[in-house]
């Protein structure tokens, strides 16, 4: 177990691959530069914290933003963390939230996990330091299907060196973060359950509002951004009435795969199944809270939920994300919305190629049915739009279909719903030679698979050195970092030195293609991804 705010060691194993439904992968923080003891001290609402300075960045690691959600606080909204005495050490990452061991994630059974990390330009190093102005803030929500992941997988040095403050956040995952159950609903003053992980993220955003000035941050310029499940979280906060005023811009990377959410009653049905698997046949909240964390994780794994989707609980979410966007009843801030050209290749590799080998032609229609959860007859009809003769292999045909159906056209749909109400910029990341972190070779090239854009913004932690970006890819990385940080500063990705990125409009239907060495405007996205099939206009 960890000591103080130190890192839990007994349950950690180094990642050997990137998870995905969303994911993330990662890299040791900070250059080898020596920290300057004793480190900067900042007074937060709960007490002073001492960080470290290295590589021109002040790092404050493992700061609690809420009380440990354990015991009676399990499956409760996050509560305030008590003040501490003395100066709290903030030089090491803290525990990540409970999740099962897998080849793609790190195991943990520690519920004391609601920590965040602050990375700020050191005085004399930041691009805006000479003006002594408050710096824009970017709050990152990691991916991992809302099942796995942790904040310290991501080193935001490239972003911070452009004159922004980056905050990375741990939040509750899986059953502990998103369980809806009739007993939990009954005890709630709001008659709601589920979405505790989203409430954690909102508590972190309130922490930012209360404290970020002390780190030289501007609470009036907060950008939330995330990839995959982190992007889904960003969509949820755009739609959540409880998040109003907590952020001022939003970036969604591959997060549009669930514009519809289950109702509270549908989520409670899954919760009842989970309780039975946990041995709580009496269906009481007391039994649920008494269960060991390891048992909770095992029971939720037994439900075979591949990716968690927040529910319309009537509190955090009062309607589906898609309905909120369509009606204009969302938190109206500028948005960047995008996806990757070959998203589904990662899932075909992980779930098929690396498990049973490449698909045979005779397995193609069945694989479509399994991917989309549709009858074989429907899958056969859909296969006619992606005939095997047009693809080098059945794996690549299935990858194209999955990319279009689940990610690409939903991302475009989100941009089309948002753009009448708020400034919206849409993109497609499309580097066909993007390095594939941690995954072994398969029978097809990964291309710009799910999560492959992250390494163009962050350094990712791993025991295996990440493949270096080639010269053209470094130029693309520089452009993407500039776009993201321009947006945080100005509310638009455009500024001197970057290729112009037009705002998304339904009639022009243009997106920025993030290709090396230099991004360019594209107009053929809907045709390329067959969006007339998967997400007809608006």
Q: Is residue 23 part of a domain?
A: no
Q: Which of 314, 333, 352 is the last residue of a domain?
A: 333
φ/ψ of residue 43, rounded to 5:
-90, 115
Residues 202 and 350 in one domain: no
Structure confidence at residue 5 as a pLDDT band (50, 70, 90): very low
- Residue range 318-370, pLDDT digits in tens: 999 999 999 999 999 999 999 999 999 999 999 999 999 999 999 999 999 99
Check whether 17 has a pLDDT greater than 80.
no
Q: Is residue 20 part of a domain?
A: no
| Residue pointed to by tokens 């698997």 | 277
Please tell me the distance from the alpha carbon of residue 81 to that of residue 356, in angstroms, as a whole number: 48
Structure confidence at residue 3 as a pLDDT band (50, 70, 90): very low
Cβ proximity of 80 and 122 under 8 Å = no
DSSP 471-538: HHHHHHHHHHHHHHHHHHHHSSS--TTS---PPP-TTT--EEEE-SSS-EEES-HHHHTTHHHHS---
Please tell me the distance from the alpha carbon of residue 65 to that of residue 45, in angstroms, as a whole number: 10
Given 17, 228, 339, 452, which residue is catalytic? 228
- Give the model's pLDDT for residue 101: 75
Residues 314 and 404 in one domain: no
Please tell me the distance from the alpha carbon of residue 303 to that of residue 301, in angstroms, as a whole number: 5
Given 142, 181, 341, 450, which residue is catalytic? 450
Check whether 104 has a pLDDT greater than 80.
no
- Residue range 492-514, pLDDT digits in tens: 999 999 999 999 999 999 999 99
How many secondary structure helices (H) and strands (E) does the chain include? 18, 16
Where helices occur in 334-449 by DSSP H, the ranges are 345-348, 354-356, 364-372, 376-383, 394-402, 409-418
- Give the model's pLDDT for residue 53: 97
Please tell me the distance from the alpha carbon of residue 260 to that of residue 166, in angstroms, as a whole number: 30
- Give the model's pLDDT for residue 37: 55
Please tell me the distance from the alpha carbon of residue 353 to that of residue 442, in angstroms, as a whole number: 6
Q: Is residue 395 part of a domain?
A: yes
Residues 326 and 343 in one domain: no
Check whether 28 has a pLDDT greater than 80.
no
The mean pLDDT value of the chain amounts to 92
Check whether 29 has a pLDDT greater than 80.
no
Residues 454 and 347 in one domain: yes
- Give the model's pLDDT for residue 12: 38
Residues 481 and 355 in one domain: yes
* Residues whose CB falls within 8 Å of the CB of residue 243, separated by 6 or more in sequence, listed in order: 202, 205, 237, 331
Rounded to an integer, the average pLDDT of 102-131 is 77
- Give the model's pLDDT for residue 486: 99
- Residue range 218-258, pLDDT digits in tens: 999 999 999 999 999 999 999 999 999 999 999 999 999 99
Structure confidence at residue 537 as a pLDDT band (50, 70, 90): confident
Rounded to an integer, the average pLDDT of 74-94 is 98
Q: Which of 318, 333, 348 is the last residue of a domain?
A: 333
- Token pair of 413 as six digits: 């749909």
| Residue-number span of the structural domain to which 454 is assigned | 338-534
Range among 4-8, 22-26, 333-337, 463-467 rated most confident: 333-337
Please tell me the distance from the alpha carbon of residue 473 to that of residue 535, in angstroms, as a whole number: 31
- Give the model's pLDDT for residue 78: 99
Q: Shortest CA distance to 430 belongs to which of 338, 493, 349, 292?
A: 338
Task: Specify the CATH number for the domain of residue 434.
Answer: 3.40.50.1820
Query: Strand 217-227 to strand 88-89: parallel, antiparallel, or no bridges (unpaired)?
Result: unpaired
Check whether 130 has a pLDDT greater than 90.
no
Cβ neighbourhood burial of 50 (10 Å; 0-12, 13-18, 19+): middle
Q: Shortest CA distance to 104 belongs to which of 358, 342, 371, 437?
A: 437
Given 268, 343, 428, 522, which residue is catalytic? 343
- Give the model's pLDDT for residue 137: 99
Residues 284 and 421 in one domain: no
Q: Shortest CA distance to 195 belongs to which of 133, 271, 118, 129?
A: 271
Structure confidence at residue 13 as a pLDDT band (50, 70, 90): very low
Residues 230 and 276 in one domain: yes
10, 15, 21, 27: CA torsion to nearest 10: 110
- Give the model's pLDDT for residue 465: 62
For residue 123, how far is the Cα from the chain centroid?
30
Residues 150 and 191 in one domain: yes
Structure confidence at residue 2 as a pLDDT band (50, 70, 90): very low
Residues 290 and 375 in one domain: no
Residues 144 and 264 in one domain: yes
Three-state secondary-structure class, residue 265? helix
Q: Is residue 441 part of a domain?
A: yes
Is 265 among the catalytic positions?
no
Number of domains within the chain: 2
Rounded to an integer, the average pLDDT of 461-485 is 89
Is 240 among the catalytic positions?
no
DSSP-based helix, strand, coil % in the chain, nearest 5: 35, 15, 50
pLDDT more than 70, % of the chain: 90
Strand partners, 64: 115
Please tell me the distance from the alpha carbon of residue 273 to that of residue 181, in angstroms, as a whole number: 9
Cβ proximity of 463 and 487 under 8 Å = no
- Give the model's pLDDT for residue 18: 35
| Residue pointed to by tokens 């709960």 | 46
For residues 276 and 130, the model is more confident at: 276
Q: Is residue 17 part of a domain?
A: no
Q: Is residue 11 part of a domain?
A: no
Is 522 among the catalytic positions?
no
Residues 403 and 448 in one domain: yes
Q: Where are the beta strands (DSSP E) in 38-114?
A: 41-44, 47-50, 52-54, 57-64, 88-89
- Give the model's pLDDT for residue 372: 97
Residues 183 and 77 in one domain: yes
């Amino acid at each position: 177990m960890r000591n103080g705010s130190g890192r839990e060691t007994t349950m950690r194993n180094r990642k050997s691959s990137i998870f995905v439904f969303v994911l993330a992968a990662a890299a040791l923080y900070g250059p080898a530069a020596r920290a300057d003891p004793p480190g900067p001290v900042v007074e937060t609402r709960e007490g002073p914290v001492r960080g470290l300075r290295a590589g021109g960045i002040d790092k404050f690691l493992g700061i609690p933003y809420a009380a440990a959600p354990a015991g009676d606080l399990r499956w409760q909204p996050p509560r305030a963390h008590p003040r501490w005495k003395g100066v709290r050490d903030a030089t090491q990452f803290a525990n990540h939230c409970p999740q099962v061991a897998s080849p793609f994630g790190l195991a943990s059974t520690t519920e004391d996990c609601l920590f965040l990390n602050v990375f700020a330009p050191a005085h004399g190093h930041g691009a805006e330091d000479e003006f002594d102005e408050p710096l824009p803030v970017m709050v990152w929500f990691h991916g991992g299907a809302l099942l796995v992941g942790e904040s310290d997988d991501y080193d935001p040095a490239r972003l911070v060196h452009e004159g922004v403050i980056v905050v990375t956040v741990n939040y509750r995952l899986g059953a502990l973060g998103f369980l809806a159950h009739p007993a939990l609903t009954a005890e709630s003053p709001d008659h709601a359950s589920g979405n505790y992980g989203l409430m954690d993220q909102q508590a972190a955003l309130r922490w930012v509002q209360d404290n970020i000035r002390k780190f030289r941050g501007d609470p009036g310029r907060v950008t939330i951004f995330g990839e995959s499940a982190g992007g889904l979280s960003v969509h949820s906060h755009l739609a959540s009435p409880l998040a109003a005023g907590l952020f001022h811009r939003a970036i969604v990377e591959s997060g549009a795969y669930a514009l519809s959410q289950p109702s509270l009653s549908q989520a409670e049905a899954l919760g009842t199944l989970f309780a039975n698997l946990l041995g709580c046949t009496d269906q009481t909240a007391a039994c649920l809270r008494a269960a060991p964390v390891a048992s909770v994780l095992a029971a939720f794994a037994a439900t075979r939920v591949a990716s968690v989707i927040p529910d319309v609980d009537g509190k955090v979410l009062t309607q589906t994300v898609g309905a909120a966007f369509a009606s204009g009843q969302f938190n109206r801030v500028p948005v960047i919305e995008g996806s990757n050209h070959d998203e589904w290749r990662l899932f075909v590799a992980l779930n098929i190629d690396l498990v049973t080998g490449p698909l045979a032609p005779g397995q193609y229609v069945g694989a479509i049915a399994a991917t989309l959860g549709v009858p074989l007859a429907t899958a056969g009809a859909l296969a006619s739009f992606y005939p095997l003769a047009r693809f080098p292999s059945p794996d690549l045909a299935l990858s194209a279909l999955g990319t279009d159906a689940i990610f690409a056209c939903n991302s475009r749909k989100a941009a089309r719903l948002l753009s009448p109400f708020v400034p919206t910029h849409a993109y497609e990341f499309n580097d066909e030679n993007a390095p594939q972190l941690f995954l072994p070779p398969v029978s097809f090239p990964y291309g710009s698979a799910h999560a492959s854009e992250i390494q163009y913004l962050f350094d990712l932690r791993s025991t295996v050195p990440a493949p270096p970006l080639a010269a053209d890819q470094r130029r693309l990385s520089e452009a993407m970092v500039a776009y993201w940080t321009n947006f945080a500063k100005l509310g638009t990705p455009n500024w001197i030195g970057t290729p112009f990125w037009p705002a998304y409009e339904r009639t022009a239907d243009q997106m920025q293609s993030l290709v090396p060495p230099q991004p360019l405007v594209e107009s053929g996205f809907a045709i390329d991804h067959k969006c007339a099939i998967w997400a007809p206009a608006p």
